[in-house]
Structure 1
Amino acid sequence: MCRFAAANGPLSVVAICGCQATLLSFDVDETAGHLLDGLAGFAVSRTEEKKEEALAGGEAETVWFGDPRRGKWSEGEAAGTPTEEAVDEVELLEEPRALGGGWRRALRCAIQEFKWGDYTTKPNSRYRYTLYAIHGDPQVGIDSSPSGGPAKRGPGLHVAAQVELKVVTPAADDDHQVFFNRGVAGSQRFARLSMGTRESGPRSSEQWQWLSNGLEEALLGFIGRAHKGFELRCAFYEAHYPPVMRALAAAERRGASVQIVMDWKIASWSEDKKVWSQRGPQHLNYWALAESGLLNSGRVFHRTRPLAAISHNKFIILTEPDGKLSVWTGSTNITAGAIFGHSNVGHIIARPELCNKYVAYWERLTQDPEKKDLAQFNEELSPLPEEEESKWTELVFFSPRLRWADALSFMAQLILKARHSVAFTAAFGISREISPALLAAGSEGAGTPVPTYLLLESQGNWQASRDAVQALQRKRNVRVAFGTHMEVPPGKPQPQGGAWIPETLTGLNEHVRYVHTKILLIDMFSDEPIVVSGSGNFSRASMESNDENVVVVRGNTNLSDAYSVEFFRIFEHMRFRNHVQGIDKRVEVEPPGPQADALDEVMCRCGQAVAERTVKKAGPNVGRRFRCCANPQRLSCGFFAWIQPENAQAAPKEEAQEPWPRCCYSSASFLSLERQLFKDLRNGAKSTEPSRSGVPTQEEEGSSGDSFASADDGLLELWDLCGVSEGPVVSDVEQPEGLDLTEIRAAATEMLGINVKTKGSGKRLRESRDRLITCVRSMPDGPLREPLLERLHEMGSKLSARSQASWQPQLRQVVEMLS
């Protein structure tokens, strides 16, 4: 168990430990008014208890934590009112143990939150944390005791109460090991390490190690275990990071058998335009294999079918001479950008049942099967749990699948049946199959909304995703963080006196710059957490068309804790930058009370988030905003509602939030939901009975609450309304009955004929692009719709370049797919 708790009267603290990070949660009992009134924040000290120092009787090193976001973090500064000038969202304060060291700065910049992260711990180590409740007036100063530490009383900042907690960070697990890269290149720490971008010169090994955070070392170490008699069976989408490819070649020279299934969608040459139309990373994979000496080894299997999908796997199977298996999987492509750039996870599995399924799946991939044949095989190899298997603990899903909607519905059911919390990451927006469940997270489990955390690259590239994200942002039980960095200091000068240092990314990622993990965590701090992780993006394409693998583990608290602390590390990093840049203020949060019920009506009759539009046509209603079905008009369910009735008075502004810490005790705030989440963990009591709010649970209705097979008819009707088919996919090229592709092909051909060098070409390009995307979105759901939209979104990201060669290859692919 990696969870530890301690209390001293009304003050308590709990720690959730991962291998390289620890999440701390604080609490003050709401009945302790004497401690809550005047609470200025918390400070934390950490002492590492080393065995050799204990034997020698030496003094262990103590470091202090404060919130650098709340004040200048410089030596010798007079105490004053905290400012917003910051160094970073979390920083380790390593101060000398001399009088007036780090504790003064920790008190001056007291933490005004009920959770905090220590992201510098080491595996299998012992630490002693001390939590201090700080009282006093910062304008008066900082009171010190005669012995040199913080005072226990006084008009200035002083310690009103404290509690000590001893923890032991976990060692490597035998069945599951998890490795996250840093995933936050856009940070103050990396800005100090690099002080520039890659164009200013090569980076040092220290910079690369900081970005890797142990991910590269773990991957190379996994491959390095292979010697004579071992086998390495790989399945890669992108694999062109030279050190890893050379490591595979070195393993082969040591006598290991190395075989690779590689995404290999061949590019086509346009003689007229003199450009290559590239369908995947095949050209980069080719040169990486050639450079490492693996290209002509006869052990590379090309994955070429279907042409419209991608072989998106990123796993390695290690077989030892005695037959013992282990699998490296997760979201990490074999590229520099995946290891050092956007966030990723590597997950080592040593469970024989799961590993044997990976072997069977890999052997099938070597045959380069057609999609429908592989989908049928995957349904049999990795079935969804049946009703009698309601107490499953570990599952693996392989794609493509015939009944792909069932797999997504299974994920949605996990979200709906959450009892404590939901955490979700997405790199390409939220799919229409998952967004309704996130909007109603916990409705079938807790019976009331549960704290829901969303870590997103962006709102998404399609309107339905943007509408869903905006609807989620309005919900009081949801917090959303988008990937971003401080490219320019927000209204502050260059770094003087603790101002922001401009942050830069690595420049290694083109499409996904921040969030690339594919993680779903259900009830992460309970005794029955669920962890979902792998290569799949929780989308229709990931389950219906692409080669993917997804692992689902239930009841493994150590694994859940390892994922959770890393999730919050990146989530809080991005959320703070969202706050400083004003991104989190763009959508109004639903008000408390009866008005909240009205704003919960964010679903149309199609079962998806409604769209918000503005009347543009001249007339009495011009400028008025309304809600409608997000689908194209000919597919619309007809839902319509004015956002504000005509001639109605403006809604009163939401009451000002109570000051900290009382805002965390208000039943209407997200902070109170989050505080209760950690409070349940501190009490060590698992909530076996869901909260009652007039919503019957499935147990009350006589059905199992854990089995996918017992999903109620309402959700299945929801998928039908959303146009999600439960039937098998018949063919990759089958088109919906009655679909006329002439208009789409004409729009694409017209756009290809536009000369960007002529006057007004930019406007014509945008108009043609919009017309083309509108036509494709008007298509009913079918095998062509999503691949076409993917190509168009890729084209749109390059359209700003004034070179036709940059975006025409994607458009030509659209024409070829329509031919």
Structure 2
Amino acid sequence: MRASATGPYLRLRAIAGTHVVVLAWDFVVPPDISTLVGESNLLGFAVHRQKFDAAGNVQTSYYLRGLKRFEDKDKGLPPGTLVPTSEHPIQSFLWADYTAAAGVEYEYAVEPVFGEPKKLWIDEAQGVSVRVRCETTAVSAGQSSRHEVHFNRGVIGSQAYAREFDNAAPDSNAPASKPMKWLSRGLYEALLAFIKRGAKQGTGLRAAFYEFRYLPVAQALRDAADKGDVQIVYDAESTYKVENEATIEEAGLAEFVHPRTVTAGIRHNKFIVLLKDGKPVSVWTGSTNISAGGIFGHSNVGHVVHDPEIAAQYLEYWERLQHNLTATKLREPNAEASPTPSLPLQPGTYPLFSPRETKETPQAEKTLQWYANLAEAAQQLVCFTAAFDIAPEFLAVFQKQNDVLRYIVKDDPLKKTEDLGADGDVIFAPGGYIEDDNALTNALKESGNPLNSNDYIHTKYMLVDPLGEQPTVVTGSANFSSSSQTQNDENMLVIHGDTRVADIYFGEFMRLFDHHYARYLAAKYRRNPKSPGNYLKAQTDQWLPAHLDPSNYRSKRRSYFVG
């Protein structure tokens, strides 16, 4: 959901997903910075939140809090202490509330803060407020969108986890424990609920899994098989074969599975088709492997489409996989069943199944190039996640000099071969966590991720102009790589024109990007002792100019995000 408001001094826009509300604001009339320096001295902005119950009554009302503070104010705070934005204002035109709840209504007020750190004043009369309701995780009756989107937190290494659980190692054998439920943030529960829909007479499930080694999910499928019709294709060739088959044996699923033993590429799908009276009605897909690490460890998404036509395409794809066909025999039927749609896209949802082409396919006809063309057509904003390497097709897009903001978050630092160019509108964040010798004043030490070797980013999605009226979301199991199109079993969804889906993905992307970008800067500051660390700046002319400089990405962000 999106909502905007204009006051005497500021314009404000809220973009609400399920668990994230992104707030962007701008001056109604951009001032000359000299008018803000001196006695007035704009220190930043305070953000106030009210939460409402179902009857419209105020449940809670307070200023949101953050970690950054003025160096000479509130000294001696214990590490990890959150400070109110009314006392330590936000020195940006962007903020996000990561504590919002799905389906709940909130009102946010952004108010300018003037003066000096120890003698500040909030000009409430110059503030602006907006009311917004977070999206529900389930599709409601009457909604045009047919998509459910479930993101886990994907950040064991976080200040919130350190404060809440003192960095205790999560117990993967106890999915109902508080740390595991916190990490899941509904992803695990949504997966079990989808499986349960197939656990009754007249229903069925058709699943295809790469990692199939989390016993509680396997047991849920076994329970469904007692009442419904369950059949599972699983990877029986990779290094996960032994664990997959041990899980199948322990759950008693041996009579319901079909091993996929082809050796080309990897059998990388993670989807389930729901059948009712023998007909496909919905599909669960996304990036989440059936493992403790996939569900609770690194960032992942479960994406449900309630659409018989889309589900039927997935069922036909599953049937090809069930026959254990090689990549050579799969490419042509996959490409025919799920051709890349013509550009510019028309509103709709388009599945793309792999393997679908060969290395000899002309470059202009390759699906990876088609994805890159989508990114290159962006007018304002691209958001891109990479679990592994950034392909040359995308590097070419990111290297171009233009005014499109291109945000990239990746599991690890850039390799020597990953040259993003020199355009200041490309902003990169590698995965990371805060260690003992961090440069973030007032921050707790965080824990690494004990559940995964691929520690942070496992999602495979791209957003093109997500804040526009015709946003594009690309999401699924396939890393944006050549092998994902030529050899691997993969599935992707291209969703165009659904602002609800785009708002959810955008909020989650900004949550992960901001989380890891702060840690990237902390590592950078640790290497440079003269850097300012995590302190707020006490003078307007120290923090504001970059946000008003048209050549700076912060200025473009201020303009693009507020709409």
- The alignment's TM-score, normalised by the length of structure 1, stands at 0.62
Identify the residue that residue 7 of structure 2 maps to in structure 1: 8
Corresponding position of 1:138: 117
Matched with 1:302 is: 259
| Superposed displacement of residue 439, structure 1 | 1.9
Q: In the TM superposition, what is the alpha-carbon distance from 1:215 to its structure 2 partner?
A: 0.6
Higher relative strand content = 2
Residue from 486, 506, 516 that aligns with 1:564: 506
1:43 maps to 2:50: no
Secondary structure at the counterpart of residue 315 of structure 2: helix
Q: Please give the secondary structure, in 2, of the residue aligned with 1:385.
A: coil
1:69 and 1:87 in contact (8 A); partners too: no
Alignment of 1:274-353 (within 5 A): 279-295=238-254, 297=255, 299-305=256-262, 307-321=263-277, 323=279, 325-353=281-309
1:491-510 equivalences under 5 Å are: 499-510=442-453
Shift of 1:505: 2.7
Residue equivalent to 1:80: 73
1:28 and 1:84 map into 2 onto residues whose CA distance is 33
Q: Determine if the alignment matches structure 1 residue 113 to structure 2 residue 109.
A: no
The aligned residue for residue 126 of structure 2 is 161
Tell me the equivalent position of 1:231: 204
Q: SS where residue 107 of structure 1 aligns?
A: coil
Number of residue-to-residue matches in the alignment = 535
Trace 1:13-28 onto structure 2 (pairs within 5 A): 13-28=12-27
Matched, 1:251 2:250: no
Please give the alpha-carbon distance, in whole angstroms, between the structure 2 residues aligned to 1:580 and 1:372: 48
Note the C-alpha offset of 1:186. Answer: 0.4
2:408 to 427, 436, 454: 454
8 Å CA contact 1:578–1:584 kept in 2: the answer is no
1:68-467, aligned counterparts within 5 Å?
68-71=67-70, 80=73, 87=80, 105-139=84-118, 141-142=119-120, 152=123, 159=124, 161-171=126-136, 172-173=138-139, 175-198=146-169, 205-226=177-198, 227-253=200-226, 255-265=227-237, 279-295=238-254, 297=255, 299-305=256-262, 307-321=263-277, 323=279, 325-386=281-342, 391=346, 393-403=348-358, 405=363, 406-440=366-400, 448-459=402-413, 463-465=416-418
Q: Which amino acid aligns with 1:69?
A: K
Task: Check whether the contact 1:262–1:303 (CA below 8 A) recurs between aligned residues.
Answer: yes
> Aligned equivalents of 1:219 and 1:545: distance in 2?
27
CA shift, 1:325, in A, is 1.0
Whole-angstrom CA distance in 2 between matches of 1:321 and 1:137: 69
1:259-283: CA deviation from partner (whole Å, max 9, x where unpaired): 0010111xxxxxxxxxxxxx42000
**Structure 1 Cα separation of the partners of residues 370 and 171 of structure 2:** 49
Q: Which moved more, 1:32-41 or 1:552-561?
A: 32-41
SS at match of 2:25: strand
Give 1:476 deviation, angstroms.
0.6
Among 507, 514, 531, the residue aligned to 2:473:
531
1:50 deviates by 1.8
User: Alpha-carbon deviations, 1:726-769, whole Å to 9, x = none?
Assistant: xxxxxxxxxxxxxxxxxxxxxxxxxxxxxxxxxxxxxxxxxxxx
Q: Partners in 1 of 2:368 and 2:172 — Cα distance?
A: 46
**Retained in 2: the 8 A contact 1:261–1:303?**
yes
How far, CA to CA, are the matches of 1:575 and 1:418 in structure 2? 23
- Does structure 2 conserve the Cα–Cα contact (< 8 Å) formed by 1:263 and 1:303? yes
CA shift digits 1:651-683 (9 cap, x unpaired): xxxxxx96222211101211011112123x1xx
1:458 CA drift (Å) = 1.6
Bigger Cα Rg: 1
**C-alpha deviation, 1:490, in angstroms:** 1.9
**3-state DSSP of counterpart to 1:221:** helix
Secondary structure of 2:393's aligned partner? coil
Partner of 2:424 in structure 1? 476
1 CA distance for matches of 2:186 and 2:169? 21
> Once the 2 structures are TM-superposed, how far is the Cα of residue 416 of structure 1 from its aligned partner?
1.1
Instruction: Tell me the SS of whatever aligns to 1:391.
Output: coil
Contact 2:42–2:114 (CA under 8 A) maintained in structure 1: yes
Rounded to whole Å, the distance in 1 between the matches of 2:490 and 2:559 is 37
Distance in structure 2 (CA, Å) of the matches to 1:544 and 1:84:
55
Q: 1:554 to 1:667 in 2, by over 3 A?
A: same
Structure 1 residue 487, shift from structure 2 partner: 2.4
Deviation above 6 Å: which 4+ runs of structure 1?
81-86, 199-204, 583-586
Change (3 A) 1:202 1:374: closer
CA positional deviation for 1:184: 1.0
Note the alpha carbon deviations across 1:547-594, whole angstroms, 9 max, x for none. 0001001111110000000000010011011111107999xxxxxxxx
Q: Residues 84 and 456 of structure 1: is their aligned pair in 2 closer, same or farther, counting only changes over 3 Å? A: farther
In the alignment, the residues of structure 1 paired with residue 109 and residue 411 of structure 2 have an alpha-carbon distance, to the nearest angstrom, of: 36
Distance 1:584 1:236 in 2: 42
Give the distance between the partners of 1:582 and 1:119, measured in 2 at CA. Answer: 25
> What amino acid maps onto 1:418 in structure 2?
A
Residue 160 of structure 1 deviates from its aligned partner by 6.4
CA distance in 1, matches of 2:282, 2:207: 12
Quick one: structure 1 residues 583 and 356, their matched pair in 2 at CA, closer, same or farther if it must change by over 3 Å?
Answer: farther
Contact 1:425 1:456 in 2 (8 A): yes
User: Whose relative contact order is higher, 1 or 2, with alpha carbons under 8 Å and at least 6 apart?
Assistant: 2
CA contact (8 A) 1:30 1:665 kept: no
User: Hey, what does 1:669 align to over in structure 2?
Assistant: 552
Separation (CA, whole Å) in 2 of partners of 1:224 and 1:580:
44
Give the whole-Å Cα distance in 1 for the aligned partners of 2:449 and 2:376: 38
**What stretches of structure 2 of length at least 5 have no aligned partner?**
140-144, 529-539
Secondary structure of 1:499's aligned partner: coil
After superposition, the Cα gap between the structure-2 partners of 1:383 and 1:7, relative to the gap in structure 1 and judged at 3 Å, is same
Verify the 8 A CA contact 1:664 1:671 in the aligned structure 2.
yes
State the Cα distance separating 1:63 from its structure 2 match: 2.5
Name the CA shift for 1:235/1:558 in 2 (closer, same or farther; >3 Å): same
Normalized against structure 2, the TM-score is what? 0.89
CA-CA distance at 1:377 after TM superposition: 1.2
